[in-house]
Structure 1
Amino acid sequence: MGFLDKFRKKPRVTPGGSPIYRYETPEEPGWRPPESVGAYAEEITEHFEALFPGRESFVFHELISDLVHIDINIMRPTEKQDFYVLYTTGMSDLPMTLPDELSDREDLKYAELYLFLPGSWDLGKEFSLSSDMPESSYWPVRMLKFLARFPHEYETWLGWGHTVPNGPEYTPLCDGVGFGGVVLSWTGEDNRLGGLNAEDGRKINFYSVIPAYKEEIEYKLKYGMEGLDKVFCEKQLPMILDIHRPNLCPDFKEVLDQ
């Protein structure tokens, strides 16, 4: 699934059991105002504040929204936990479109995304994101916004183990960054980071967004998420984004997503 492609076609399944969907750009549908805005934002925010207490935070509000209203919530580093927490709200306002074989899985239809940035990351000094922020600082925010809207815009879904290459050539997510796509996973042993049950009974899953190298994504297509997860664990993938981290599957040369 590429960042700039749309419309699902019948998937091809890789040796690792991963269906590969292709997307084409549709005709411009026109502006579609969101049906609701932040239906679960308060509950999600309270959940993250309980997980990461004592942090200053602010919200990067979306000014003009199409289909869904996606906000990026930013929790600042603390002295003991020197990293930012970024998470989305609004993605779970609408159900995702599951494949026919999973259409009855209500527990998979709603999700939000999160990632951790190092405390040295420049997200501005005030309680807002600067409009002139360089792309080298802004790209994780842009990536989260795109991914959160992706399943609703493309009538598909995102879940654990899904990979999203940045186009067929695995274009770098930002100049100077080697990652050519993302992997969705869960982080750590605290299952509270896996999601929450809202007061109305809705299950909202939280997925960690892991920027990944082309070889790591292709490895997952060959051996499944369990195989890639084993590599991530054995080679100690950092929980906090490190744009200089080594490729954990550098010798994997097969190309399955083509």
Structure 2
Amino acid sequence: MSAERSVVAPVGGLLEEQPDTMAHRSPISRAVLDHLSARLGPPTLCYSFQPEQQPRIDLLFVPPSEASEGAVTVCTLGMSEFVQPVPAGVPQPPRCELMLRLPADWPMDEHKLTERHTAWPLHWLTALARMPQRLATWVGPGHTIPNGDPPQPFTEGTGLCGFLIVLPVCFEEGQDVVSTPAGPVALFSALPIHASELRLALERGAGVLLERLLAANVDDVIELTRAPVDAPAG
């Protein structure tokens, strides 16, 4: 079953920190950082939008590599400090972090990261990571989050207007769970989707949407101009 959430993405307040200065972070965050470094390569940037707000969420940037299939990987750091109220019987750890992947040519300089057209994935990843603690809820695979009601495109030149939470495609089986001193931390991907895909997930289930996305070779690298998977061919 697909579950919708409503969030507002933050704007402004960009703070940069070098990943190699993170010795002061919690054992959970250090374990996540070590896991990403071992699987995808060491992060080269760490940004935080509105770092004065709680919970503090940082974004780790891992540059393109063979392991990441040539994409920039962005992963939250700090979300897993919160134990989500995952319902009994749901087979996922209560702690998680979120990821998304950007094309290798996505503008990454600090000026561009404050412009809405290029920064919206990062603002939204931050908002999604804060959502469980702020709303006393949980996120997991199959959940959908629209950009408003009705959903509005994230930026000009795209029809993408919501997210589907999925398992990361850049990890082999078992690599999407991090062992930490506080227990396992799951890694999930936030995949941008269209309004018609949001409707499909709500009406027929996220599994049906995911099957169509996989059949169309859609992965979790953001592609602003991709067509909806339920659009007519040709």
With the shorter chain as reference, the TM-score category is 0.7 to 0.9
Alpha carbons of 1:20 and 1:107: their partners in 2 closer, same or farther (altered >3 Å)? closer
Tell me the amino acid that sits aligned with residue 213 of structure 2.
Answer: F
In 2, the alpha carbon distance for the partners of 1:22 and 1:44 equals: 27
- Would you say 1:88 and 2:84 are equivalent positions? no
Residue 5 of structure 2 contacts residue 144 of structure 2 at CA under 8 Å; is this kept in 1? no
The correspondence for 1:41, drawn from 4, 24, 29, is 29
Q: Could you tell me how far 1:130 is from its partner in structure 2?
A: 3.4
Q: Of the candidates 206, 228, 233, which is equivalent to residue 247 of structure 1?
A: 228
Does the CA-based 8 Å contact 1:107-1:204 persist in structure 2? no
**Amino acid in the other structure paired with 1:246:** A
Q: Distance in 1 between matches of 2:137 and 2:191?
A: 20
Is residue 196 from structure 1 mapped to residue 198 from structure 2 by the alignment?
no
Measured against aligned partners, the alpha-carbon deviations of 1:133-185 in whole angstroms (never above 9, x if no partner) come to 32111111101100000111111110110000111110111222211110000
Contact 1:108 1:159 (C-alpha < 8 Å) held by counterparts: no
Residue 75 of structure 1 aligns with which residue? 62
CA distance 1:72–1:19, change in 2 (3 Å): closer
Three-state SS of the structure 2 residue aligned to 1:61 is: strand
Q: Which of these residues, 43, 46, 54, is aligned with residue 59 of structure 1?
A: 46
Alignment counterpart, residue 155 of structure 1, candidates 136, 148, 151: 136
Gap regions ≥5 residues in structure 1: 1-16, 24-35, 252-258
Question: Structure 2: which 5+ residue stretches go unaligned?
Answer: 8-23
- Root mean square deviation of aligned Cα: 2.6
Query: 1-side partners of 2:65 and 2:188: how far apart?
Result: 23
**Aligned residues with identical type, % of pairs:** 21
CA contact (8 A) 1:37 1:90 kept: no
Name the structure where strand makes up a greater proportion of residues: 2
TM-score, normalised relative to structure 2? 0.81
For residue 32 of structure 1, what is the aligned residue in structure 2?
Answer: none
TM-score (norm 1): 0.74
**1:232 equivalenced with 2:216 (yes/no):** no
Compared CA separation, residues 214 and 59, structure 1 to 2 (3 A): same
Cα distance between partner residues in 2 of 1:238 and 1:104: 28
Change in Cα spacing, 1:21 to 1:60, as seen in structure 2 (3 Å) is closer
Rounded Cα–Cα distance in structure 1 between residues aligned with 2:222 and 2:152? 18
Distance 1:229 1:131, change over 3 A: closer
CA contact (8 A) 1:68 1:90 kept: yes
Matched, 1:223 2:204: yes
- Pick the aligned partner of 2:2 from 9, 13, 18: 18
TM-superposed CA distance for 1:132, in Å, is 6.8
**Superposed, which structure 2 residues align to 1:89-238 within 5 Å?**
89-98=77-86, 102-103=87-88, 107-124=92-109, 129-130=110-111, 133-188=114-169, 190-200=172-182, 202-238=183-219
SS across alignment from 1:247: coil
- Whether the 8 Å CA contact 2:112–2:118 is kept in 1: the answer is no
CA-CA distance at 1:39 after TM superposition: 4.8
Q: How many angstroms apart in 2 are the aligned matches of 1:78 and 1:207? A: 19
